[in-house]
Amino acid sequence: MHRIIFICTGNVCRSPMAEGILKVRLATINNKDIVVSSMGIHGLDHKPASELARQVCAEHGIDISKHVSRQLDFNEIDESGLILTLEMAQKNFILLFFKHLTERVFLLGCWPGEDSPKGNIKDPMGGSIKDYRKAFETIDRHIDRIIPDLHTMFG
């Protein structure tokens, strides 16, 4: 089994959406060799995905209603094959603690290329349904873009 983790700030908006999107894409292509999860770098633990994140995912046939936010699990991160953050600040935070994972921690909006501020995906927390839809569409587009790379990486 290969493990991919999405990391955002609170693990209630962007990373649960990314987790849900990738799980659906992998199920569609019948890939059972990749385990997908998500976490947050800042303290929200045991919270559901935000109402608007659930709503936007449901609009696309993705059910994240059972999602429960998690703080960083250092063992799981250390065992992961790929860690994808939604902002550069989260990547930098992870690398403070896991310098040895430099080759496995990336910004979703840029991977597998070079990091750029354009790769940050804005946090919709506190925003409108339009903000959540924009975040979802951006995450969805990047996940579709990286699926071939995941096949290459995890065979």
- Residues taking part in catalysis: 8, 14, 123
Strands, E assignment, the chain: 2-8, 34-40, 82-85, 105-107
- Note whether 24 and 105 are within 8 A (CB): no
Q: Could you list the beta-strand ranges (E) of 14-155.
A: 34-40, 82-85, 105-107
Residue 138: Cβ within 10 Å count: 20
